[in-house]
Amino acid sequence: MNKQLITATLQNDILLRAARGEKTERVPVWLMRQAGRVLPEYRAVRKQMGSFKDLLKTPEFACEVTLQPVDILGVDAAIIFSDILVIPEAMGLNYEMIESKGPLFEKTIKNKHDIEALQITQANDLAYVIQAIKLTKRALNNRVPLIGFAGAPWTIFAYMIEGSGSKTFAQAKKFLYTQPEWAHLLLDKITQSTIHYLQAQVAAGVNLLQIFDSWAGILSPQQYTSFSLPYLKRICDAIPQVPITLFAKGAFFARQQLSELNCAVIGLDWNMDIAESRAMIGPDKTLQGNMDPCLLYADYNTIKTETIKMLQQFGGHKHIANLGHGLYPDIEKDKVRCFIDTVKEYKI
Ligand code: 1CP
């Protein structure tokens, strides 16, 4: 029964086919942060739950908000409602999500001793996420694929050192320059934890994985080569079962190196030129992205014409349409739908 559930055919598998590089009848589409404050339906569940973390840790509600964009917006995939910060928490660093400010950790990593005290996450440590995935798979009833995700080791490292969001992540970068050996030890522990966590997500039924390296762009090319790419490589090599998307925001300098990793899809942000990216990455990988999220503040006509221009530049194949970063919470739902409908109506 369980095996049947996992191998059952999806009614809409266009996103998976595009991720595998197959020709598709149209361009598939989903949006980073598609579940969230953009939807009044999300805000209602969120209000009922009280805090963001309570919502995250209640599988029934996490499942409900994961399904919302599939039902309301018509996207070609669901992404499990969770956060990249569940890994630092499982390793021993508790955080609070402060309303309209972002995450705040009680304790940060300062030295070797702090790193040694961290646990390596095991497959069953994040049972609430795994339970949410299982519930969501059942509720989706094979309509569309389910995307699992985690933060890239460097991005998780940055939050663990800094203790909150930051414009520069100067403390995290200082750690790389002053304590490189311990930085590698911490990155290794995060990588092991992330691999266990992603393997558990795959076992629970996710069809594709995305790794968010949201703070890739603040590193120099040399630092990225030393402190991010080897860990991304380990993750890609450890999970051959499902296609992996690497989204390294701002890492325009690393596009060629990313193309050498065992991933199926590379996410582009809106600063990255599409033709230049294709030339650097080569013909094999599927590309995802890359509309400026702010386009969705424009009028409907502008949204349509700019979306069509983007689709033409990607060329129709080996492309998964998305924004170049997450949706902003104050964008109108109908504008989001306009972007999605334009992609779905576009004739390759
Ligand atoms: O109730 C709310 O609206 C809180 C806002 C919110 C939401 C909706 C946060 C706080 N996290 C999430 C969910 C979330 N986070 C998803 C869900 C699935 C979906 O995409 O629909 C995902 C994939 C994430 C991933 C995530 N969390 C990233 C990587 C992607 C990115 O935006 O670069 C990062 C950096 C975080 C940390 C985080 N979580 C929340 C906030 C406000 C932040 C950023 C803090 C900062 O600026 O440093």
How does DSSP classify residue 252?
G
264: CA distance to ligand 1 center in Å?
23
Q: Are 267 and 320 in contact (CB under 8 A)?
A: no
d(CA 191, CA 249): 19
d(CA 232, CA 259): 12
Take atom 7 of ligand 1 and give the residue whose Cα is closest.
36
97 lines ligand 1 (CB under 6 A): yes
Take atom 14 of ligand 1 and give the residue whose Cα is closest.
83
Take atom 12 of ligand 1 and give the residue whose Cα is closest.
83
299: CA distance to ligand 1 center in Å?
26
d(CA 51, CA 53): 5
Partnered with residue 291 across adjacent β-strands are 323
35 lines ligand 1 (CB under 6 A): yes
Q: How many CA atoms lie within 13 A of 265 on its CB side?
A: 31
Determine the atom of ligand 1 nearest the C-alpha atom of 69: 21
Please say if 33 is a catalytic residue.
yes
Domain ranges of the chain: 2-83+117-155+179-345
Please say if 159 is a catalytic residue.
yes
User: Of residues 20, 26, 83, 337, which has the active-site annotation?
Assistant: 83
Which residues, 6 or more positions from 57, have their beta carbon under 8 angstroms from its beta carbon?
Answer: 128
42 lines ligand 1 (CB under 6 A): no
d(CA 310, CA 339): 11
Q: Give CA separation, 167 vs 13, 117, 159, 186, 286, in Å.
A: 38, 28, 12, 22, 30
d(CA 101, CA 27): 35
Q: Residues of 150-177 as b/e, b for ≥16 C-beta within 10 angstroms?
A: bbbbbbbbbbbbbbeebeebeebbebbe
Q: Are 155 and 84 in contact (CB under 8 A)?
A: yes
Please say if 83 is a catalytic residue.
yes
Output the pTM of the full model.
0.96
User: Of residues 17, 20, 26, 37, which has the active-site annotation?
Assistant: 37
**Which tokens sit at 48?**
């009922």
Which residue from 177, 341, 153 is spatially nearest to 246, judged by alpha carbons?
153
Burial class (CB in 10 A: 0-12, 13-18, 19+), 289: buried
d(CA 126, CA 323): 29
Q: For the structural domain made of 2-83+117-155+179-345, what CATH number should be given?
A: 3.20.20.210
User: Of residues 13, 46, 197, 269, which has the active-site annotation?
Assistant: 46
Q: How much is the pLDDT for 249? A: 98
d(CA 232, CA 251): 13
Residue 301: count of CB within 10 angstroms of its CB:
9
Q: How much is the pLDDT for 142? A: 96
User: Of residues 159, 197, 224, 231, which has the active-site annotation?
Assistant: 159
53 lines ligand 1 (CB under 6 A): no
Q: Provide φ and ψ at 148, rounded to 5°.
A: -100, 165
Walk along the chain (348 residues) and give the pLDDT tens digit of each residue: 343 444 569 999 999 999 999 999 999 999 999 999 999 999 999 999 889 999 999 999 999 999 999 999 999 999 999 999 999 999 999 999 998 899 999 999 999 999 999 999 999 899 999 999 999 999 999 999 999 999 999 999 999 999 999 999 999 999 999 999 999 999 999 999 999 999 999 999 999 999 999 999 999 999 999 999 999 999 999 999 999 999 999 999 999 999 999 999 999 999 999 999 999 999 999 999 999 999 999 999 999 999 999 999 999 999 999 999 999 999 999 999 999 999 999 999
150: CA distance to ligand 1 center in Å?
11
8: CA distance to ligand 1 center in Å?
31
